[in-house]
Amino acid sequence: MDSVSFYTKCFHQFGPEARAVGWQDRYRQRRRFQIFCDYYNFDNKSVLDIGSGLGDFYDYLKQLRYLVDYIGIDSCEVLVKSARLCYPLAFFEYTRLDQYNPDRLFDCVVASGTFSYKALDPIKFLKSNLQYAYQLTKSCFLFNFLSTKWPLSNQFNRFYYYDMQMVQDICDQLLPKPQFVKLITNYLDGDVTVIIEK
């Protein structure tokens, strides 16, 4: 089952809630959002949300009363339609990252949970998508991933668990060379957030 089929199935099973986009629960989803916001001030910034799902990160930013120029993109049409209904003031586009060609760069690009689902070639998928996403930001790219430190008994076959050093190496090799790359690991077992400054 590919990722679009998986998330479509989850949406029909759970409706518009965190489990529909593959999160175990709302707490873990929002904890990841909090890490993004602890590092970067999104107020009065332009934001591209890759794999925006149901628009939950937009909702999180609005609850913080941030004014954001927000665009969310997702390759799952049913999720995009739901996000548009829930948040009519935001802009959500049904597209894949490698087919997205905006006419501008964004202050910050984010991707939460976007690289969790196991692709046919996860390493190649991660490398190409990180480079593409990084090219779309003026200053900062934030994303998270599941690591091999995730407790083995809680791992799921449909998700991919990346080696942290390998991800660090991929990020260090992005072009143009990042000014700063940092991995944050102290918030959820096995979860890693990456901060990249251009």
Is it the case that residue 151 has pLDDT exceeding 70?
yes
The average confidence (pLDDT) of the chain is 90
Q: How confident is the model at residue 27 (pLDDT cuts 50, 70, 90)?
A: confident
CB distance 120 to 85 below 8 Å: no
Residue 26 has what pLDDT? 81
Q: What is the per-residue pLDDT across 58-71, written as a single tens digit (0 to 9) for each?
A: 999 999 999 999 99
Q: How confident is the model at residue 19 (pLDDT cuts 50, 70, 90)?
A: low
Residue 83 has what pLDDT? 95
Is it the case that residue 18 has pLDDT exceeding 60?
no
Q: How confident is the model at residue 127 (pLDDT cuts 50, 70, 90)?
A: very high
Domain architecture of the chain: domains with CATH: 26-197 (3.40.50.150)
Q: Which of 21-35, 80-94, 96-110, 116-130 has the lowest mean pLDDT?
A: 21-35
Is it the case that residue 192 has pLDDT exceeding 80?
yes
**pTM of the complete model:** 0.92
Q: List, edge to edge, every strand of the sheet that includes 180-184.
A: 91-94, 68-74, 45-50, 106-111, 137-146, 191-197, 180-184
Please give the residue that has the higher pLDDT: either 10 or 99: 99
Is it the case that residue 5 has pLDDT exceeding 70?
no
CB distance 197 to 137 below 8 Å: no
Question: What does the block give as tokens for 164?
Answer: 């942290």
CB distance 94 to 52 below 8 Å: no
